[in-house]
Amino acid sequence: MNREEALLRELSLWSVSEWLQNNQLPVGAISTIPAAISPSQLKAEATIINSPSVSSDLKKVEVKTPEVKTTEVKAEQVADTLPNSLSLLERVNLCKACQLHTTRQQALLGRGEESASWLIISESPSTEEDLHNQVSFGNTGELLSNLLKAVDVVPFTDTYHTFLVKCRPSHNRAPSTQEFHSCQNHLLNEIQTLKPKVVILMGRIVAKLLLGLDLPLAELRDKTFEFQGIPTRVTHDLGAILRQPQEKSRVWRDFITAKKMISQYIQRDDNVDKANT
């Protein structure tokens, strides 16, 4: 048994390895973050594009049911009066924009390389992450790392992991809309700094709050959205996968698709560069 087979068997993915063989792909911490960008300078768009496949020109298509509206990030939505001279890490640690700061152990900014192509967004820190002050810690972190390795993506080098809200809601409940609005400028500044090639939203709640799409996960998967001009995919929440291990193969396929998208975009950009020289 080779290393690849052993890894896929450990992830309960060996039964779908034939699918990978038919869809071959090329192989392939933020230490400081600048001061915050005003949310009024940023425009968040949730637009469905070319679903489910990704073409070279990425033309947008109209969304009729439900209607997807552009989300304007307004300064008055964000109860944040910290000075812009502070770094984002300092702002997150000092933030008291919502009541989550009263129950957190600490606030957690994202983890990964500034040059990462993937931005992975979960709801909020888990109990283990909050307690140990480490992003992607514990069972969910191990599961995510194994799934990324199974598609030959290096966690925290090729990927940057962060949260919709930077503080853990009590009893691991989902963040409220008000809590997200209070915290969203931190996330938008991360995105502005990172400029990832693809965004992965872990779960229906993340898609609901970030994209404004209150739909079942089955209607969100296998579609490509656009947020801040970046291709965005929705997959399962990691906690749900731990409860339903049979869903791991779906996330694995979603990651395969994301990697294929990045490869196509890089190839397209290379062709544009060659055409301009």
- The structure's pTM equals 0.75
pLDDT for 170 equals 86
Whether residue 20 is contained in a domain is answered as: no
Query: Are residues 182 and 277 in contact, defined by beta-carbon separation less than 8 angstroms?
Result: no
3-class DSSP assignment, residue 269: helix
Cα 7-113-168 angle, rounded to 5 deg: 85
pLDDT, the chain, mean: 77
Whether residue 38 is contained in a domain is answered as: no
Q: Does the structure show a pLDDT above 80 at 79?
A: no
What residue numbers bound the domain in which 199 lies? 43-52+63-276
Structure tokens, 276: 């301009």
Whether residue 113 is contained in a domain is answered as: yes
Which residue in 163, 132, 149 sits closest to 237, CA to CA?
163
User: Pick the residue with more confidence: 22 or 218?
Assistant: 218
Here the CATH number for the domain that contains residue 223 is: 3.40.470.10
Per residue in 194-219, pLDDT (tens digit) is 999 999 999 999 999 999 999 999 99
Whether residue 254 is contained in a domain is answered as: yes
Per residue in 91-127, pLDDT (tens digit) is 888 899 999 988 888 899 999 999 999 999 999 998 8
Question: For the chain, what is the radius of gyration of the CA atoms?
Answer: 19
If 0-12 CB within 10 Å is exposed, 13-18 middle and 19+ buried, where does residue 99 land?
middle
pLDDT for 85 equals 72
